[in-house]
């Protein structure tokens, strides 16, 4: 008879891997004998999860991307089923990624395995009817945004708001002033203002949205050099935050064609967010991470003309950026782009840099957004909710 608790964590893409890793670390602290298996990426593996399939490399955005990755996700699903057959988990913890995880949750429930879902699918943003599919599949839902619990309560779902893990995993990355100085000195920044370019973690984002960000950066550089009132303003150093070594060739190719002078750094995203005066960011979890450091930003998401017709029918929120959704208004400029025109993005960035009132409003809004997430400790609270659910089963 196996005495240790067996928990299967299923995550996809970089943010899910990070959330899953923080959860795994908290689970191991609270229950040292826990056996953690799952699908995810390198962060979960480093946190002590035996990863049976890499899902970070499969991540994408949008319906077309989902279709393109279907065969790989089928293979991942089969790996999970084989693992369930070999050693059935005591509990399944899906982390967001509903396209895959809802199917896996259905399989688990059919086998009598409890499902403690971590990070609710964004039913409040698009396709809200999905919540009626989710409700009967989950034993417990753990939400990370303060307004999500109210969506599940009327359906009788055991739902707990645990807080956002960004408050946990970004805290160790905070640099003190001397560390900031050393980081900038190593880059040779000198007197130049730093603007961070955050291209995202998905190949699709780099291919389709990062070129707009680079074009906007080039326009911004020209505008600053041309404006008379910036006569004493130092030039800009653009820092590019690369999340994966495999993306480096494509990033460097796009930069060479559209921006020219820029510094690419791998695995130093939190440092770039902190030392930047402003960031140009692809919409995603990175926007909330940037907000954690109270760094103003302009957010871009590029989609195709085909999706332009579907977006008004599917989207149920007035904003695409999580920071703005939490703020309830446009705290940072955002652009849902159906074309390649980077001029509006550059103009929004220039306004933030040149208008002190707009700058101060942005800083105030970012502070309120982060404070709205409540206290740190989300990963520990989520881990306790999982172990409690497991104990109830036993």
Q: Is the pLDDT of residue 343 over 70?
A: yes
What structural domains and CATH numbers belong to the chain? 6-163+377-393 (3.40.50.2000), 174-372 (3.40.50.2000)
Q: What is the distance of C-alpha 174 from the center of its chain?
A: 18
340 close to 382: Cβ distance less than 8 angstroms: no
pLDDT in tens, 244-258: 888 899 999 999 999
pLDDT band at 1 (very low <50, low <70, confident <90, very high): very low
Pick 58 or 81 by higher pLDDT. Answer: 81
**Average pLDDT in the 358-380 region?**
95
Report the share of the chain in percent with pLDDT over 90. Answer: 70
Q: Sign of torsion, CA 201 202 207 210?
A: negative
pLDDT at 66: 45
pLDDT of residue 120: 93
Q: Check residue 150 and give its pLDDT.
A: 93
Residues 247 and 206 sit within 8 Å (Cβ to Cβ)? yes
For residue 129, name the pLDDT band (cuts at 50, 70, 90): confident
Instruction: Name the least confident of 117-126, 167-176, 321-330, 331-340.
Output: 117-126
Q: Which residues, including other chains, have CB under 8 Å from residue 283's CB and lie 6 or more apart?
A: 299, 300, 301, 320, 321, 322, 334
pLDDT at residue number 63: 40
Residue 304: band (very low, low, confident or very high) from pLDDT cuts 50, 70, 90: low
Answer for the pair 265, 251: CB distance below 8 angstroms, yes or no.
no
Give me the pLDDT at residue 298, please.
98
């Amino acid at each position: 008879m196996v005495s240790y608790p067996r928990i299967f964590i299923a995550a996809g893409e970089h943010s899910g891997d990070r959330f899953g890793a923080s959860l795994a670390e908290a689970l191991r602290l609270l229950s040292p004998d826990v056996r953690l298996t799952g699908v995810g990426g390198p962060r979960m593996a480093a946190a002590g999860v035996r990863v049976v399939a890499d899902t970070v490399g499969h991540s994408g955005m949008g319906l077309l991307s989902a279709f393109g990755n279907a065969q790989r996700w089928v293979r991942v699903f089969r790996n999970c089923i084989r693992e369930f057959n070999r050693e059935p988990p005591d509990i399944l913890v899906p982390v967001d990624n509903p396209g895959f995880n809802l199917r896996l949750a259905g399989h688990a429930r059919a086998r009598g395995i409890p499902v403690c879902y971590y990070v609710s699918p964004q039913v409040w943003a698009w396709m809200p009817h999905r919540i009626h599919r989710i409700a009967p599949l989950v034993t417990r839902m753990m939400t990370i945004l303060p307004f999500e619990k109210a969506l599940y309560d009327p359906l009788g779902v055991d739902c707990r708001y645990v807080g956002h893990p960004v408050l946990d995993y970004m805290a160790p990355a905070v640099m003190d002033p001397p560390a900031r100085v050393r980081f900038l000195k190593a880059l040779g920044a000198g007197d130049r203002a730093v603007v961070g370019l955050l291209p995202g973690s998905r190949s699709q984002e780099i291919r389709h949205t990062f070129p707009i960000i680079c074009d906007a950066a080039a326009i911004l550089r020209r505008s600053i050099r041309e404006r008379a009132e910036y006569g004493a303003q130092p030039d800009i150093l653009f820092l590019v935050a690369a999340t994966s070594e495999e993306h480096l060739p494509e990033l460097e190719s796009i930069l060479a064609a559209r921006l020219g002078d820029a510094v690419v750094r791998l695995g130093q995203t939190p440092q770039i967010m902190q030392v930047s005066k402003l960031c140009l960011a692809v919409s995603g979890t990175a926007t909330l991470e940037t907000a954690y450091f109270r760094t103003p930003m302009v957010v871009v998401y590029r989609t195709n003309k085909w999706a332009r017709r579907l977006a008004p029918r599917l989207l149920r929120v007035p904003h695409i950026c999580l920071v703005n959704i939490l703020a309830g208004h446009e705290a940072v400029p955002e652009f849902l782009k159906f074309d390649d025109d980077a001029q509006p993005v550059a103009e929004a960035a220039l306004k933030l840099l040149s208008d002190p009132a707009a700058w101060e409003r942005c800083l105030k809004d970012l502070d309120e957004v982060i404070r709205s997430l409540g206290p740190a400790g989300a990963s520990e609270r989520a881990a306790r909710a999982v172990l409690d659910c497991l104990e109830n089963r036993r």
